[in-house]
């Protein structure tokens, strides 16, 4: 079963991030579920904060296997029709992340964060090590990584009623990705609130 961070553990990691840039990296993973590679390619112009429902756009190459992805990604179908080689996945921005991004000036060349991937991974390890050293983070049997934080985002969204298919789209996952392993991590799957009829973005705005 995948490791994942609980909300109180993420709060601890954010508090012990070595600096503001590291904190922004962790925040983008926790509040948007982005992969490290997606964060490092994200540009300031990809973020829209002026609307009532802020979003960010992740531009990715079109997948080779259309049958695997196109059924849940209308953007892929549209990109194919117009002869594009990339497509944009739109991810809604949580209010806490939106607040942090509004005062963020970027990191050069229009990037939100510009740093080598190895450095970004080191920031995560630094936050984990500091929190453990100060006895604020429990020890896990398996190593902790950026994937652990992304897993925490997935579980947190499911706990608060974000539909599985919607979450797949936000995460950029294919329809055959096995989400059941995350559902099995929920404290009580039967207790997931029924928010049928509410737009996922509306639900997101209420998630602590």
pTM score, whole prediction:
0.85
Residues 6+ apart with CB under 8 A from 110: 43, 44, 45
Which sequence spans correspond to the domains of the chain? 7-206
Rounded Cα–Cα distance for residues 168 and 183 (Å):
13
Give the percent of the chain with pLDDT over 70: 82
Q: How do residues 126-144 score in pLDDT, each as one tens digit?
A: 999 999 898 888 776 566 7
What are the pLDDT digits (tens) for 191-208?
Answer: 777 888 899 999 999 999
Cα 3 from Cα 71, distance rounded (Å): 29
Per DSSP, the three-state class of 90 is strand
Q: Identify the pLDDT of residue 36.
A: 94
Residue in the block written with tokens 């012990």: 16
How many other CB atoms are there within 10 angstroms of residue 174's CB atom?
15
Query: Degrees (nearest 5) of the Cα angle 148, 55, 110?
Result: 85
Strands (E) across the chain are located at 47-48, 55-61, 86-92
Whether pLDDT at 48 is above 70:
yes
For position 71, what pLDDT does the model report?
46
> Are the C-beta atoms of 21 and 107 separated by less than 8 Å?
yes
Higher pLDDT, 193 or 58: 58
Band (81; pLDDT cuts 50, 70, 90): low
> Cβ of 183: how many Cβ atoms within 10 Å?
14
The topology under which CATH files domain 7-206 is hpI Integrase; Chain A (1.10.443)
CA-CA distances (angstroms) from residue 81 to 62, 72, 84, 87? 12, 16, 8, 11
How many Cβ atoms from other residues are within 10 Å of residue 98's Cβ?
19
């Amino acid at each position: 079963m995948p490791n994942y961070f609980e909300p109180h553990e993420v709060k601890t990691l954010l508090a012990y991030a070595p600096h503001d840039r590291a904190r922004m990296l962790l925040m983008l993973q926790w509040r948007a579920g982005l992969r490290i590679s997606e964060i490092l390619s994200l540009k300031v112009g990809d973020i829209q904060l002026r609307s009532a429902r802020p979003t960010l756009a992740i531009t990715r190459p079109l997948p080779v296997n259309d049958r695997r992805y196109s059924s849940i990604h209308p953007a892929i179908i549209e990109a194919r029709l117009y002869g594009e080689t990339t497509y944009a996945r739109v991810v809604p921005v949580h209010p806490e992340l939106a607040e942090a991004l509004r005062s963020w000036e970027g990191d050069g060349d229009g990037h939100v964060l510009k740093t080598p991937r190895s450095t970004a991974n080191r920031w995560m390890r630094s936050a984990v090590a500091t929190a453990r050293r100060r006895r604020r983070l429990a020890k896990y049997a398996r190593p902790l990584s950026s994937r652990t934080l992304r897993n925490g985002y997935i579980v947190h969204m499911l706990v608060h009623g974000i539909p599985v298919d919607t979450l797949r789209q936000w995460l950029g996952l294919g329809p055959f990705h096995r989400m059941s392993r995350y559902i099995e991590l929920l404290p009580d799957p039967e207790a997931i609130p029924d928010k049928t009829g509410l737009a996922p973005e509306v639900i997101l705005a209420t998630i602590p």
